[in-house]
Structure 1
Amino acid sequence: MKSIKLRLVATFTLIILLVTAALGAAAIYVVSKDLLSDARDDLRAMAQAQAQYISSENSAQLLYMDGLAQVPAITDSAASLDEKIAYFEAEAKRSGYILFGFADKTGKAVILNSNRETNDVSDRPFFQSAIQGTPTASDLMFSKLDGKPVLVYAAPVYENGQIIGVLYGRRDGLTLSQICENVTYKNTGYGYIVNNEGIKVAHKNTDLVLRQDNDIENGKTDPALAALGALTEQMTTRQRGGGEYTYNGKEKLVEFTPIEGSPWILAMTLETNEVIERTHVLTQMLMLLCMVMAAVGAAVTWLISGSIAKPIKSVTKAAQQIADGDFDVRLSVKSKDELGRLSDAFQLTIQRLVNYQGYIDEISDVLSCVASGDLTVELQREYAGQFKKIKDNLQSMLDNLDSTLLQIHQSADFVDADAEQVSTGAQALSRGATEQASAVEQLSASIEEVTGQIRQNAENARLAQEKAEFAGRELHSSNDHMQEMVAAMGEISFKSSEILKIIKIIEDISFQTNILALNAAVEAARAGQHGKGFAVVADEVRNLAGKSAVAAKDTTALIEQTLAAVENGSRTADVTAKALEASARETTEAVELIDKIAAASQEQAMAIVQINQGVGQISSVVQTNAATAEESAAASQELSEQSALLKGLLAGFKLRQNRISGEQGSAPDFRSADVSD
């Protein structure tokens, strides 16, 4: 939607629609609330009226029964049963009762009709209340005789001021439902009655009465009936009230009130949709009104927006011409409001843009001259606003550029002269560096030869170190073996001493054995012929003992000689061990000296390597200096050429201070000059 006129029309039309729709919705809401409130009031009034009617009807029946209980036919004990039956059958037909019955004080009842049925009503609440002297109407109950729903009205029967029994009459239990069928409101409103337990006792749908439907229990099993169950539970408190609930998918209103003098509560219900259906017509009217208001608003907005859009279009067209470079624009908006002031301001802007175009043309001419090398041009016009800053900055730029180019030309002369000096010095440095490089190479060769000799010395020292270490290890090993031999000889000496002790014991045993053999020979001699064999054995034992003594002496002599030899060997081994130990110490000291010599030789070799590396670095530096000197000479030559080229380029500029082209004389020294401007 590119047109502002259409946008205004659409915007205001939408606003009108929203406002009228909001007002209509509010009106419908208020009307709906009022209708629902009126419906609740009507339902409440009808419920109270019907409750009063049923209460009065109930009271009338109780008065009737109380009067009937006083007729002689029931109070006269002389009256026969046939007389009583005849009277009450006729009364039942006349009054609309199903039957009458009489119960004695124990609850034993007889039906006062031709059937003469008997029954026990002692457990019935109506009997228990009436026998106490109070006329009573029962709740809806089901007959013990035929199982049909009935209503029972009972009154006490007196004789001589004493209660002798209870007279009760039975009416059709669906009588209350017939009353409720006649209680209607609009098309969907009707009444129904529940007792103090929430059970329906009267309803236009008698099936609900017959099956004793209870909405409290229904609400516990069906969530859709929970609201109705809660309202029914509220009814059982016998308080007036009302509310809303959903039944079979339809929203309903309900108002209820207790029926005085009975265990019942009457409720009036109505579908909510029937109440608010009158708002449908109102809704249609409001929708039509919205459409009419929107059409009128659109038409009015179309007319008003035309006077707004026309000046805007004129200004837009002028802006497009300016964007295309056409400043010959005239606006003719005759208005004193904001649009008129906008047009005047835009016309003033156009005039200033024309002036700005003159500024831009002059600046463009000056920049064109500068581009061609003419720095003598100046801005002549008077500038206003931000353009004055542009003029001042541009003029300052021209002055600085003129001064800078002059200084560059003079500096180029100075650079040219210095470049020649640098070139001469670089050539001399290059020759000196070449000579130094030759000397360094000779020194490097000599150092390399010395390095080889030192490395050989270090290698020989390393081999000597290895030989000395090997000899030291062998001496230490021999010393260790000698120590082991000395220890072994000491062990032999110790064991020989032990053997001498054992031989001494053997000598003692041999001596004792010899004595025993002598004693045995003496005893054998005493025995005579019987001891001859024993004497022979004793002689042999004495001979063996003598031989053992001789062997022990010989062994002792040998061991003593061995001990003497071991002692001599031990002394010799000790001397040898001390000599080996001294040799080992000397060898260790020699190895340590050789280690120091080898380490010193290695350090000398490393020092020579570092010296050689330093000489190599000096050679590299000398060569680098030579190359740098050659490069400096070449750079100086190139710098001189670039300086000449720069001076040639500067000759193409026309300066206000001096003309560069054809200027003679030496260039001034700018090395200490302030050229910050």
Structure 2
Amino acid sequence: MSLGKYIIRTLIVVIPGVFLITLGVCIGNKLSFRASLLTIVLTMLCGICIGILSAYLNHKKFIAPIKGIVNHIHSLQEGNLHTRTDIAKSGMLKGIAISLNEMSDAWQIIINKVDESAQQVAALSEELSAEANQVAESSNQVTNTIHKVASETERQLQSMEESFEIVSLLSSGSNQIAENAQSVSTSSSNSLHIASEGNEKIQKAVMQMNSIQQTVNKSAAIITELGERSKEIGQIVKVITEIADQTNLLALNAAIEAARAGDHGKGFAVVADEVRKLAEQSALSSEQITRLIQATQLETSNAVQSMGQATREVSEGIAAVHFAGAAFESIQESIAQVTKQLQEVSSASDQMSSGVSQIVISMQEMTEVSENNVAGTQTVSAVAEQQLISIEEITKSTALLATMSEELRQLTMRFNNK
């Protein structure tokens, strides 16, 4: 409200009041008309002057500062936090103006902090979303690789179970060979003692297999170890095949010597023929095992390639089998020669039986390792899938957080605080 309007409104109230009061005083004092008129005029002039002065002072101290405060409040309502009320012009409303300015300062600081926090939250949300997407992609790759490895391991386990069945049959056959050879050796020991008193003792063929040492990095996967076990079994089967061939040759020599012995060697000829048949069966079973081992090695190689792990240098000990036999100085009797040949057959059968037993133990261990590996890959796959679900939830949460931070920024932009 302007100063003129405020003075007029004040005089509208003051003039009638002064007139009525003065009129009452004049009537009460019983003044004459002229004295009363003069008193009323002078009193009203004084009242007008006092009213104008009072209106001016009130307008300066109260009415004028209210306009600045109202404008300040309207600016705050419109979002302008830079407006300040002039304290020097606030008059009696100085306390209100100071509080209003302090409130504007506080709101400006709060809005700035909220805007900075919203920007930081938005930036962090984008970074977190990018990291979550990258981790989700990696988890998908890991899950796919684990599924592929589990499939390869299951096929490998099936191949080893088939190999185990054939090895069990071979073990049974080799045990039978050993029993027959031992029986023949026992039956002919008495005749050999009588016939070969003057002969030197036969030096039995010594077969020594160097242990195969594997130097594999500690972090190599269990699949690589299975591959090395397959190679080791292949070497053992190779040795068994060589032993079976040697047994077949020894049986043939025994049959020749039995034929040379005439009637005394007929019994040994029958035994030698049975030994030869069992040796052929052993060689055939060894070939089947070799094929299955080759298939197992192929599956192992595929599994290693699927896992993407580079195998380190593997040193394979090459089994050197040294057969040392002492030459006979003389052959006194054909029966003695046949007996010595049968002793060699018995020794070879025992070695073959021992090798087959070792294969059975190794394949049992490989089967257990494969089963544990399958269970482990299934567990890891489940954990990876659960992790992928969690990452998807995190991605959704970060997207929601980014949306909320953007909405918060839009709200802060309503305030002209920058």
TM-score by length of 2: 0.33
Instruction: Name the structure where strand makes up a greater proportion of residues.
Output: 1
Instruction: Name the structure where helix makes up a greater proportion of residues.
Output: 2
Ranked by relative contact order (alpha carbons within 8 Å, sequence separation 6 or more), the top structure is 2
